[in-house]
Amino acid sequence: MTNKGGLEEAIVADINTSYIDGSIGKLIYSGYAIEDLAETTSFEEILFLLFNTRLPKPKEYESLRSTIAAEASIPDAVINMMKSLPAATPAMAVLRTAVSMLSAFDPDAENLSDKDLAQAKAFRLTGQITTICAAWMRIAKGQGPIAPRGDLSVAENFVYMMSGDEPDATACAALNVYLVLLAEHGMNASTFAARVVTATGSDLHSAIVAGISALKGPSHGGANSEAMKMFIAIGDVDNVLPWFEQNIKTGQRRIMGIGHRVYKSNDPRAGILRRHAEALAESSGQRKWLDIAVKLAETARADDYFVQRNLYPNVDYYSAVVLYLLGLDIDMFTPLFAMSRISGWSAHVIAQMGGRLIRPKANYVGPQDRKFVPMDER
């Protein structure tokens, strides 16, 4: 078998959570088109769907929403640990450490076989990760964290915990759509990492920490952070064309957020996020960043290099603008990705429980039949 690197085209599991056809820009969650789900469902509904392959009934939705909200608090010891960290600690490192520490407060942390219990833990972690992300935003600025409310959704609670103010409807809608769109995406790197850990018989927290660790890498979860840094470097819509000529046409750098490993057509998530970036730009009066993003995308799509290689804006491109206009520091972009993807990770982890150890082969290309020479003769 030819080694293409990156396990290209290798099939490692049967799944029922999501399906992607990158050639036509198609993404479905358990049979539902992402375009239908994004504007009409809550993140909690998607979590239920990924676990049950069906959408919840009203009472089931409310039960899940209230359960997540009720268990979203984190122990004082975790808060104190976060307060003890330097303010410059990368937010993903904080999240990784906090989730690992949460396992110490779980009396059933080492129960490795009960799938119902694992699902309950996943629901708890969904709320707790939301709280960790909001808490670190405040702690890093020298502010006290705000406790979650039991009457709010995941998106609403995060917006509330950022400031303590009643959550803004436009902001909550944009964040909810972001969470829905990033919840699940097949056998991506972080999901595969979580499944590999689970296949060893390890615990849920360890698997989620593995997912967070993989997502922390800039080639996976950090693209929208780099996209926003790029927009800030451009600075003004009038600078887009000269920046493109100086940086892209000369090959000095590439456009972050354009192109995708899977999608060779429009990423269906990008257009949806662009609409919410529009709404946030209007409500906030900050159109500059969206105007820069749109102008840069149009410039790229008019260039033969991007046309010939089927390079289009992906989910990271416009999500950068959405998260920035929500008031997030760039360092918090990837933790928000994890806040969404905990749903997909958990569904995959539970599906993997009790499965075979994942043990692929490697193609040895080193030397053969070498004669050993004792140290004093080398």
Residue with tokens 């975790």: 78
Non-local CB neighbours of 151 within 8 Å, separated by 6+ positions: 69
- Contact between 95 and 210 (Cβ < 8 Å): no
- Which residue in the list 276, 316, 331, 348 is annotated as catalytic? 316
Known catalytic membership, residue 260: yes
Question: Which of the residues 168, 185, 205, 260 is marked catalytic?
Answer: 260
Q: Which residues of 129-149 are buried (b: 16+ CB within 10 A; e: fewer)?
A: bbbbbbbbbbbbeeeebbbbe
**Residues 6 or more apart in contact with residue 342 via CB below 8 angstroms:** 122, 125, 126, 129, 208, 211
The two tokens of residue 236 are 């003004």
**Strands, sheet with 18-21, edge to edge from the N-terminal-most edge strand:** 18-21, 26-29, 32-33
Identify whether 316 is a catalytic site residue: yes
CB 98 within 8 A of CB 90: no
- 218 burial level (CB within 10 Å; 0-12, 13-18, 19+): exposed
Contacts of 196 (CB under 8 A, 6+ apart): 210, 358
- Torsions phi, psi for 92 (to 5 deg): -70, -30
Q: CA-CA distance, 46 to 30, in Å (whole number)?
A: 10
Active site residues: 260, 316
